[in-house]
Amino acid sequence: MKIDQAQDSLPRIDFYGGAFGALLPFFIFIAGVVTIALSGAADEKGFWPVLVLALAVGLLLSKDKTAFSEAVISGMSQRIVMIMITAWLLASIIGKLMLYTGFVDALIWLSLQLNLGGEGIVIVAFMICCVVSLSTGSSFATILICGPLLYPTGALLGADLAILAGAILGGATFGDFIAPISDTTIASALSQEAEIGETVKSRLRYVLPAFVFAVVAYLLMAWMGANDAATGTAVETGDPKGLPMLMVPVFIIYLFLRGKHLVHGLLLGLCFGTVLGLVLQLLPMESVLKLDLDNYVAKSFVIDGINRALGLSVFTILLMGLVATLKASGLLDRLVDYAAERSNTNRQGEGWITAVTSLAVLFTTHSIVAILMVTDFAKKTGERLGVSKIRRANLLSLVACIFPFLLPYFIPVILMANVTNTGQEYGFSQVSPIDIGFHNFMSWGLLLVAVISLLAVKRTTESDEHHE
């Protein structure tokens, strides 16, 4: 995916207090988000004041207030930010459409026919999300398409809520790492001049052990956490008439497989689903648009969907503005230079590539931006110390598919927490980002594989490129 480079033309921002002054707004942000997540109040709207405070502190500590302000606006207005927000809005509307047309009740009916309980639905949800993320190459699309359908269904069937949400996120992580059309795969491979096909093939040695680890963990945790008492009267109302709406996500996935743009697929899928719901009389016309003249308001499933995505959208805009100020401070560039001077062996080179990428991801909170920021360092260090192209690409992707899917202040985890709001309409509480990240066993598996790989005796060099 094309990433805006407008921030590169901004002047360097100096902060009072040096590096501490540049990092303090991020410490405030991370502390605030973790505190809110630990409190159990997972509504991302609660993160807004924390981000505004962080931006205000950054402004006060910056020596050039105009440059700081321009950096914030530049970060907020990146093309990738608008793509993400537009996709979230459309996917959230589709989620409401599927709910209004009875698709969740249809999934419940089908699950009961297949005798799936709380344990079974967790594994099924994980597998479905693995297939969808592998097909679309997008963790965000997977969460937004599958989450609003699978989460309430699994909750009503008695699945442990945190484990279920973690399984959906874990399935989304799978495709983000291994799919040939994943942004992470493309950015990591092309940035290191590695061939995408060979890179994807080499990743089987990482993803398969992590996948097995995740399946076993979900089986054990789901078996211990399943709650048959949760399957109450709501399950008894399961109705198969909404099953034809399955064509909507299938149609969207088909468009993605044909290489259509994320927004293209979601918008066309929304139109198709609306027409299908009206034709099958599953969607009342008043759900499409109803004017309440007495109260001067309009009502629609479109409005409900946008309202559900509003919190995450504003959070993303504010966060990307804050990230831009750190990039403009030059702190990450200095870190890269420092690491380059201290990499003298193959093992050290791999360690520094992993460490620098990790820090870039942790502070930019965006995997693609972080990968692009450390591209030159990873390439030059790898070439100098004999770390193969594919190995470098795999290290970049491993980091990008671990932290953003585990830690509570990253968009994928917060997005999944937002999706768990769909359970509130059935009486289930929202799951906190910390609980969701903790139960993403796919990313924990990748972390375990990464550690073992880095500690392995055999080192990867350019001469054994094809074995990587």
Q: What is the pLDDT of residues 143-170, one digit of tens each?
A: 887 888 889 888 888 888 999 999 999 9
The whole-number pLDDT of residue 468 equals 57
For residue 164, give the H/E element and its range. helix 161-178
The whole-number pLDDT of residue 296 equals 78
Are 116 and 253 a contacting pair, CB within 8 Å? no
Interaxial angle between packed helices 331-341 and 19-38, expressed in degrees from 0 to 180 and rounded to the nearest 10: 100
Q: How many CA atoms lie within 13 A of 394 on its CB side?
A: 27
Residue whose entry in the numeric block shows the structure tokens 């321009």: 70
d(CA 204, CA 183): 18
Are 447 and 403 a contacting pair, CB within 8 Å? no
Looking at per-residue pLDDT, the higher value among 209 and 365 belongs to 209
1 in a structural domain: no
Mean pLDDT for the stretch of residues 201-228: 85
pLDDT averaged over every residue in the chain: 82
The whole-number pLDDT of residue 6 equals 46
d(CA 42, CA 256): 31
- Residue 1 pLDDT > 60: no
Are 99 and 148 a contacting pair, CB within 8 Å? yes
338 in a structural domain: yes
Please give the structure tokens belonging to residue 459.
Answer: 């080192």
- Residue 236 pLDDT > 60: no
d(CA 352, CA 366): 19
- Tally the residues of the chain: 468
- Residue 183 pLDDT > 80: no
Mean pLDDT for the stretch of residues 17-36: 87
Which 8-state DSSP code applies to residue 45?
A: G
- Residue 133 pLDDT > 70: yes
319 in a structural domain: yes
The whole-number pLDDT of residue 227 equals 55
Q: What is the domain range of residue 41?
A: 6-467
Instruction: Identify the band that residue 396 occupies on the pLDDT scale cut at 50, 70 and 90.
Output: very high
Mean pLDDT for the stretch of residues 242-257: 82
- Residue-wise pLDDT for 400-431, tens only, equals 999 999 988 788 898 898 888 888 777 888 88
- Residue 394 pLDDT > 90: yes
Looking at per-residue pLDDT, the higher value among 438 and 252 belongs to 438
Are 170 and 211 a contacting pair, CB within 8 Å? no
Query: How many domains is the chain partitioned into structurally?
Result: 1
Mean pLDDT for the stretch of residues 328-338: 78
Please give the structure tokens belonging to residue 340.
Answer: 């380059």
For residue 464, give the H/E element and its range. none
Mean pLDDT for the stretch of residues 339-356: 81
379 in a structural domain: yes
- Residue-wise pLDDT for 35-64, tens only, equals 877 675 556 778 889 999 999 999 999 999
Percent of the chain clearing pLDDT 90 (strictly above): 25
- Residue 233 pLDDT > 80: no
406 in a structural domain: yes
pTM tops 0.85: no
* Amino acid letter, 147: G
200 in a structural domain: yes
Interaxial angle between packed helices 375-385 and 331-341, expressed in degrees from 0 to 180 and rounded to the nearest 10: 0
d(CA 354, CA 463): 21
Percent of the chain clearing pLDDT 70 (strictly above): 89
- Residue 69 pLDDT > 90: yes
Instruction: Identify the band that residue 361 occupies on the pLDDT scale cut at 50, 70 and 90.
Output: confident
Which 8-state DSSP code applies to residue 292?
A: E
- Burial of residue 198 (number of CB atoms within 10 Å: 0-12, 13-18, 19+): middle
Instruction: Average the pLDDT over each of 195-199, 277-281, 448-452, 461-465 and give the range with the smallest value.
Output: 461-465
For residue 299, give the H/E element and its range. strand 297-299
d(CA 30, CA 203): 31
245 in a structural domain: yes
- Residue-wise pLDDT for 74-125, tens only, equals 888 877 778 778 877 887 788 788 878 887 678 777 777 777 767 788 998 8
Instruction: Identify the band that residue 188 occupies on the pLDDT scale cut at 50, 70 and 90.
Output: confident
